[in-house]
Structure 1
Amino acid sequence: MSAPRILVLGAGPAGAAVALGLKRLGYGVRVVSEWRRFAAVEGVSQRVLDGLRQAGLIKAGACVNAASARRVNWNGITQGFNQEFLVDRPTFDAAIREDLHAAGIGLVEARVRSTESSACGHQLQIEPGTRLHADFLVEARGRQAPLGGRRQRGPETLSLLNQWQAEEGSPASAVESLSDGWAWMARLSDGRCYWQITLDAGANDLPSKEQLADWCAVRRGQSSLVRELFGAQALHPATVHARSSTATLFHEVAGTNWLRVGDAAMAVDPLSGNGIFQSLSSALQAPAVINTLLQRPERAELARRFHQQRVEQLFLRFARTGRDFYAMEQNWPEQAFWQSRCRWPDAEPMHAAADFSQVRVQRAPVIRGDLIEEVEVVITPDQPLGIWHMQGIELAPLLRALRAGAGVDEVLDRVAPERRAMLRAWLGAQGCAI
C-alpha cells in the first residue's frame, strides 16, 4: 500500500508545527502557502517561545526580539505589566519557511484557488493552474481559511492595523482601553511602528475606507500613551489594514481524511490571549490525531473526539480570559462594546472551585506515544477533559484506592518518595482532606 499523500495548507506556526510533527513520524508531507499580504508585529510570551522549540521551529524562535517593556492603561490605571517579546511577522514567516526547508519538507509557494474533497481524497487547484492531489488535508490557513461548516461566533469585532516608519529606538509596547474599544501599539528597534485599534464591527460612526487613515490618526492624537511611546510622528496618517478579529469556533474540526488546526479551527479575540500560542496548542496534538486516523481507522471516532474536545476547551479558556479582561474595565459600562464582551461566552468562572466529591475516574482519549488511545483519567471540576498522569504517575489508580477507603498516606506510600509531595499538593488543591 502506498504512503498517504498529505498536504498542509498554510505555513504559519500551526501548519508548520503539524508538518514537522508528521515528518518526524515518517510521513511525506508538502506545505502549500502564499505569503502574508500585510506586514504586522505581534507580542508573545515565554511560553510561545517554548512551544516553538517543542514544535521544532528553531529558526522561527530565534528571530523573536528580546523581551521589551510593556505598559498597560486599563480601567484608568497605567502601569508596567510584565514584558513581552515582539515578533516581526515577515521575518518570522520567512524563518518558518527556513525551518521547513531544513527538515526536508516541500513548500509550494502558491495560492489555493479551489478544493474538491471526498472520502477518496482531495483535489486542489493552485495558481497559476497546477493541480495537486492529497489523501489527507490539513487546513491551517488561519482566519483566511474557507468558512464552510457551522460555527460559534463571538461579538463581531474589527481591528484596524496602522504602520509607519520612525527613527530607531528602544523596542516597547503598550495597550490601552478606549470608550469604544481598545488599542495595542508597538515600536521595534529599527523604528517600525504599529498601532492597532479594535472596535465593534457594527459601529455606526466608522468612516469610509478612504477616510480610515485620517480617522485613525485623529484617534492616536487623543492618546497620551501614543504620544509618549511614538512621539509627534504618530499623529500623521499611516498605512491601514482592516481585518476581522471576531472569535470563531468551528463545530467540526476533524473528519476521516482532514483536520483543522490553529485559527482555521478556532480563532480568539486578540485580547483573550496570544494567537501564536493558541495556534500551537491545537497543532502540537495534530500529528498524533492524524497518525491515528491513518494507521488505526478503528479509532477514528476516538481521534476526532479528542481533537474536537481539546479545541473547544481551548477556545472556552481563551474566551473566558478575554471576558474577564473586558469586565475589568469599568469606565464605560454603558457602552455597547464593553457590555457585549464582558458577558460572552458565558457566566462560568475561569476556574471551577475545588470539590473532591466531584472528582471521578472516567475513560477518555489521550495521546500515548504517537497515537490516540482511550485510558482511565481523573475528571475534576477544573479539568473536565481529565488528567491521565502527573510526571508518569497515573492518577486513576490512586483515586480508586482513596474511594475504596485507603488513607492518603497509605496511597502515597505506593509511589516513589520524590513524587509524594507533588501528589499530596495536587490532592489538597482538589479539596481532599490531607
Structure 2
Amino acid sequence: MNGEFVVERCAFDQALLCDVLAAGITVCDGLIRSVERRPDQGMTVAFEHASGRRQHIHAALLADCRGHTAPKTIPDRLASPALVSLACSFAGARAQPHSTIIESFEAGWAWGGVDPKGQAHVQVVVLPDFLAEHDRDIDVAHAACMRSLSRLPRRFGRALKPTGPVRARGIQPILRGLIAEADWLRIGDAAYTCDPLSGQGVFEAVSAAIAAVPVINTLVRRPLSTDLALRYFDERAESVFRSRVEVARQHYIAETHWQDEPFWSRMSASDSSQETVTPHSSRSYFSARPVVEGGYIVERPIVISAEYPRGVRFIDGVDLARVDELLRNGVPVVPEVISRYILMPHEKIAGALQWLRAHALIRES
C-alpha cells in the first residue's frame, strides 16, 4: 500500500505488449498522422509504418491513449502551476538492491533510483524561474540541485558520473476541457496529468483504463445511455484529478523546513480553482447518479455526503438504497427482519443500518 517499485521500463512495456497479443488483439505499429470523424465510417485513423507505407483504420469508437501529447480540441478545464523536471543518469553509484529515495531541498525536490549494477537516475523538480537563474542551462541547473542534496548522495555514494546529458520536460497537472464524446474518449494522461509527487504514475493509467471499460460497453451496446456514460466518465475524471492535486499539495505542506522558499510556498498555496466541489448541503442524502453495474453504466440512488462527494452505494455488500426503500415502506429497523427481504446475513445488515444512522439517514420512531 502506497509503495513504489523499480522496474525496467522496456521490459515492462514488452510484457504489456505480450499480454495484449495473447488476448488476441491486433497491434499495428506506426506513427499516427491524422484522426478524423467521418459521417459514414465513424472514426478514421491514418498512420504510417516504419517503412513509410500509410494505412487507414476505421472504428466505431476511438480510445485516445497518447498521453499528454494527445492534441487537445478545446482549452483545458483546470491547470495547476507549471514545473520543470531535470533528469540525469549516472554510473558509479553504490551497488545495492533496487531502491528509490526522495529528498526535498531549498529549490524543489528530487527523486532517485538505483540498481544492483550501480546505475542511478536522479530527477529534480523545480520552478521554471530556477532555470532562468542558471541562464537556462539545464546541465548547470541539475548540477546545482545535486550540490543541494545530502541524503541522496549518502545513499548512492559521491562517485556518481553522468552517462549522458540532462533531459528536461515540463510538468503541469492539467484536466483537459473535453475528454469524451459518443465515439471518442481520452484515457490516462490524455485526459488528465498529475503532479508526480502525488505518486500515482502507472496506477493512474491502469485505473483510468479499467474505468473506461464499462463506459465503452455502454457507448457501443447501449447507445440510449450515452449521456449517462459520458457523465460518469467526465465526473470521475474531474473528481480523481482534484483529489490527486490535493494529495500533492498536502505533500508540499508537510515539508515545513523550506516553507518560506518560493518553490514550497507556491506549491503549498491553495488554488481556488482546484478546490473540491462539495455538496450544497452539509447533510447526507440519497441522489440518483451514474454507477457501474454488470459491466455497464446505469443510474442508481446512492448516498452523497461531504465525506464522500462521489457517493456510496454499498456497505459491506448491502445496497443502501434498497434498505432505505424498505424502511420507507414500513419495514422495521431490525436486521433480522430486513435480511428476509435482502438476502444478506443480518450482521451485514446491522453494519449498513449503523452507517445510515451515523449519517442521519434513519428516522427512529
Give the TM-score category using the shorter length. Answer: 0.7 to 0.9
Shift of 1:388: 2.1
Q: Could you say what secondary structure the match of 1:155 adopts?
A: coil
1:92 aligns with 2:12: yes
Seq. identity, %: 29
Deviates more, 1:221-230 or 1:114-123: 114-123
Which of 39, 42, 51 is the equivalent residue of 1:121? 42
Q: Provide, for residues 166-188 of structure 1, a one-character-per-residue CA deviation record: whole Å limited to 9, x for no partner.
A: 36422221111122211111112
- Does the CA contact (< 8 Å) of 2:218 and 2:296 recur in 1? yes
Q: Distance in 1 between matches of 2:221 and 2:10?
A: 37
* Counterpart residue number, 2:297: 372
Q: Provide, for residues 106-153 of structure 1, a one-character-per-residue CA deviation record: whole Å limited to 9, x for no partner.
A: 122222122223455222222234232222110111122123322121
1:102 aligns with 2:22: yes
* Counterpart residue number, 1:423: 352
Which of 341, 359, 368 is the equivalent residue of 2:267? 341
Q: Provide, for residues 255-285 of structure 1, a one-character-per-residue CA deviation record: whole Å limited to 9, x for no partner.
A: 0100111111111001123121222222101
* Counterpart residue number, 1:3: none
* Counterpart residue number, 2:127: 200
Which of 143, 146, 150 is the equivalent residue of 2:71? 146
Change (3 A) 1:348 1:141: closer
Which of 82, 87, 102 is the equivalent residue of 1:175? 102
Query: Which 5+ residue runs of structure 1 have no aligned equivalent?
Result: 1-44, 47-82
Query: Which 5+ residue runs of structure 2 have no aligned equivalent?
Result: 340-344
* Counterpart residue number, 2:342: none
- Does the CA contact (< 8 Å) of 2:32 and 2:45 recur in 1? yes
Q: Could you say what secondary structure the match of 1:285 adopts?
A: helix
Change (3 A) 1:193 1:347: same
Q: Could you say what secondary structure the match of 2:197 adopts?
A: coil
Change (3 A) 1:107 1:314: same
* Counterpart residue number, 2:149: 223
Shift of 1:418: 3.7
* Counterpart residue number, 1:296: 222
- Does the CA contact (< 8 Å) of 1:361 and 1:399 recur in 2? no
Instruction: Report how many aligned residue pairs link the two structures.
Output: 350
Specify which structure has the higher proportion of strand.
1
* Counterpart residue number, 1:282: 208
Q: Provide, for residues 188-246 of structure 1, a one-character-per-residue CA deviation record: whole Å limited to 9, x for no partner.
A: 2333211111112344535456x423432342133121211211233657432212221
- Does the CA contact (< 8 Å) of 1:220 and 1:235 recur in 2? no
Deviates more, 1:286-295 or 1:338-347: 338-347
* Counterpart residue number, 1:398: 323
1:158 aligns with 2:84: yes
Q: Distance in 2 between matches of 1:430 and 1:271?
A: 34
Change (3 A) 1:425 1:269: farther
In structure 1, give the amino acid aligned to 2:46: Q
Q: Provide, for residues 298-323 of structure 1, a one-character-per-residue CA deviation record: whole Å limited to 9, x for no partner.
A: 11111000000001110111111111
Deviates more, 1:361-370 or 1:331-340: 331-340
Q: Distance in 2 between matches of 1:132 and 1:268?
A: 33
- TM-score under structure 1 length normalisation: 0.72
- TM-score under structure 2 length normalisation: 0.85
Q: Distance in 2 between matches of 1:352 and 1:325?
A: 22
Matches within 5 A, 1:354-373: 358-373=283-298
* Counterpart residue number, 2:54: 130
- Does the CA contact (< 8 Å) of 1:398 and 1:411 recur in 2? no
Aligned-CA RMSD value:
3.0
* Counterpart residue number, 1:313: 239
Shift of 1:249: 0.4
* Counterpart residue number, 2:182: 256
- Does the CA contact (< 8 Å) of 2:92 and 2:161 recur in 1? no
Q: Distance in 1 between matches of 2:198 and 2:179?
A: 21
- Does the CA contact (< 8 Å) of 1:172 and 1:229 recur in 2? no
Which of 382, 387, 397 is the equivalent residue of 2:312? 387
Q: Distance in 1 between matches of 2:131 and 2:86?
A: 15
Q: Could you say what secondary structure the match of 2:90 adopts?
A: strand
Q: Distance in 1 between matches of 2:159 and 2:356?
A: 56
* Counterpart residue number, 1:324: 250
1:188 aligns with 2:115: yes
* Counterpart residue number, 1:26: none
Deviates more, 1:277-286 or 1:167-176: 167-176
Q: Distance in 2 between matches of 1:140 and 1:233?
A: 40
Q: Provide, for residues 320-360 of structure 1, a one-character-per-residue CA deviation record: whole Å limited to 9, x for no partner.
A: 1111111122233333322222124449888989x9x7111
* Counterpart residue number, 1:269: 195
- Does the CA contact (< 8 Å) of 2:105 and 2:149 recur in 1? no
In structure 1, give the amino acid aligned to 2:220: L
Q: Could you say what secondary structure the match of 1:85 adopts?
A: coil
Change (3 A) 1:239 1:305: same
In structure 2, give the amino acid aligned to 1:116: E
- Does the CA contact (< 8 Å) of 1:157 and 1:246 recur in 2? yes
Q: Distance in 1 between matches of 2:360 and 2:13?
A: 46
